[in-house]
Structure 1
Amino acid sequence: MRIHGFQTLTLLDYPGLLACTIFLGHCNFRCPFCQNGNLVLHPEREPEVPEEEVMAHLKKRRGILEGVCVTGGEPTLDPELPEFLRKIKALGYRVKLDTNGYRPEILKRLASEGLLDYVAMDIKNAPDRYGDTAGVKGLDVLRIQDSVEFLMGGTIDYEFRTTVMRELHGREEFERIGKWLAGCRRYYLQNYRESESVINPVFTGYSREQLERFRELLMRSIPEVGVRGVE
């Protein structure tokens, strides 16, 4: 397991739990607004954290930490992920997986083996704009749809979330997203924030007022909609 980052404590990444976050490298998308561009484009250049060090910390913090968030990059690309999650679950932790949903077969396998407690799946945009937003020509949106339908089927807890930018998202896009995800459990609007590792730093976020208007629009079809990343 090639781990490229380890945040030993987070109050934000796993809703409702005191957790830590593990970052894996590589991704099958090239979203230009990605905050972890180094992990996506050049993971081989990033320092590695030994798995033994991570597991030692998890063993030591049992009874204090409650959950582990596994993010990336795209974690489902790592063939060692199932075994790694088994080790984490054996220590009694709850596991949250961050994913782009493009490998529904892996998502289903992990869920069927009882290795996931919560999934946060990125929704890049309305289906007709998915490939452009994700930076992948010829992207198969049906794979995304497969993951959406699986999560909405109710086997494990989940959230959908969209990083929102003026250049890529507006009222029309959220009207289509609302229809697409109608009845889903919960959905979050995450305001875009620039950082040093953004792949293509040409985007801008919205004001809270505008995000709240998008939220009101989405709540016509989604019962729980939240806003993140604004004061």
Structure 2
Amino acid sequence: MRIGGLQKVTLLDYPGKVACTVFLPGCNLRCPFCHNPALVLPDRATGGLSTEKLLAFLETRRGKLDGVCVTGGEPTLYEDLPALLRQIRALGFAVKLDTNGTNPDMLEALAQEGLLDYAAMDIKNSPDRYAETCGGVDLLGPVKRSAALLMAGAVDYEFRTTVCAPLHTPEEMAGIGRWLKGAKRYFLQPFVDSGELVGSGMKPLTKEEIEALRDSVLPDIPSTQIRGQ
């Protein structure tokens, strides 16, 4: 497995833990607001390190870091992801997985084997606009299976949506609320234009606009929060 990148310490990526973040390259979606094109688009891939070097680094961080966040790209595309997580857990680290939810079979297998302590699943938009928001890729069925799996208690979790114009409106957010009614944790993440995006035409929302989106979800998901506020 090729590791796309490593952030050696983070206080943000894994709630409540001091962690590092491991980036796995490659993704099966093309969300226009994605700010990691080097991890999504093969022709933009750069650098990386081997699994052996990653594990050697983690060995030096035993007792210093609490956990490891595995993100992408989309980590569940890798058939050898379970083997990597077993090695990470054998070193004593908690594991958080970031996923787009398009591979429910892998997610379920990881949960059943006890390889995950926390999962953060991206919810791209309401069901009606899901394929559009993913760059035209229609994988709503598997995404719904993954969401249901998490809500059934397979592993501790959060849902999160990166919100931007013109894709996210109060109507779309209300649709998400109806779909994920009663979710344990749901975060709205403000889109930030880094200048390096997969697509074009995306614009940040104002604080007031994001609060209006939150208010559209709150009746169905009272746990909804705006990340960073």
* Secondary structure class of the residue paired with 1:26: coil
| Letter of the structure 1 residue corresponding to residue 27 of structure 2 | C
- Counterpart code for 1:213: A
Question: Which piece of structure 1 moves more, 13-22 or 203-212?
Answer: 203-212
TM-score (norm 2): 0.96
Letter in 2 for 1:65: L
Q: Contact between 1:192 and 1:229, CA under 8 Å: does it hold in 2?
A: no
- 8 Å contact 2:71–2:97 — kept in the other structure? yes
**SS at structure 2 position matched to 1:217:** helix
Write the letter of the residue equivalent to 2:94. Answer: R
1:126-160 superposed Cα distances (whole Å, 9 cap, x missing partner)? 001100100134x1311111001000001211000
Ranges in structure 1 where 5+ consecutive residues have no aligned partner? none
State whether structure 2 residue 174 is matched by structure 1 residue 146.
no
- Contact kept, 8 Å, 1:194 with 1:201, in 2: the verdict is no
Match of 2:168 in 1: 169
Look up the match of 2:155.
156
Partner Cα distance (1:218, 1:9) in 2: 33
User: What are the ranges of 5 or more consecutive residues in structure 2 without an aligned counterpart?
Assistant: none
Deviates more, 1:53-62 or 1:66-75: 53-62
Structure 1 residue ranges, 4+ long, deviating more than 6 angstroms after superposition: none
Trace 1:69-80 onto structure 2 (pairs within 5 A): 69-80=69-80
Q: 1:45 to 1:176 in 2, by over 3 A?
A: closer
2:62 aligned counterpart, secondary structure: coil
Per-residue CA deviation, residues 80-99 of structure 1 (Å, 9 max, x unaligned), is 11100000000111100010
The answer to whether 1:228 aligns with 2:192 is no
For residues 94 and 43 of structure 1, do their structure 2 counterparts lie closer, same or farther at Cα, with a shift above 3 Å needed? farther
Q: Following the alignment from structure 2 to structure 1, what is the Cα–Cα distance between the partners of residues 45 and 63?
A: 35
Aligned to 1:185: 184
Q: Give matches, 1:39-188, under 5 Å.
A: 39-42=39-42, 45-137=45-137, 139-188=138-187
Aligned to 1:37: 37
Q: How many Å apart are 1:42 and its aligned residue? A: 1.6
Q: Distance in 1 between matches of 2:92 and 2:8?
A: 17
Aligned counterparts of 2:200 and 2:12: Cα–Cα separation in 1:
24
CA distance in 1, matches of 2:130, 2:59: 40
| SS of corresponding position for 1:35 | coil
Aligned length: 229
C-alpha contact (below 8 Å) 1:37/1:199 kept by paired residues: yes
Shift of 1:229: 5.0
Residues 4 and 43, structure 1, Cα contact 8 Å, conserved in 2: no
Report the aligned-residue RMSD. Answer: 1.4
What secondary structure sits across from 2:23 in the alignment? Answer: strand
Partner Cα separation in structure 2 for residue 82 and residue 50 of structure 1: 16
CA contact (8 A) 2:120 2:158 kept: yes
After superposition, what is the alpha-carbon deviation per residue over 1:3-48, rounded to whole angstroms, capped at 9, x for unaligned? 0100000011001100000000111111111111111112673112
Asked whether the 8 Å contact 2:38–2:44 carries over to 1, the reply is: no
Q: 1:103 to 1:132 in 2, by over 3 A?
A: same
**2: CA distance, partners of 1:187 / 1:109:** 23
User: Secondary structure of the equivalent of 1:92?
Assistant: coil
TM-score of the aligned structures, taking structure 1 as reference length: 0.95
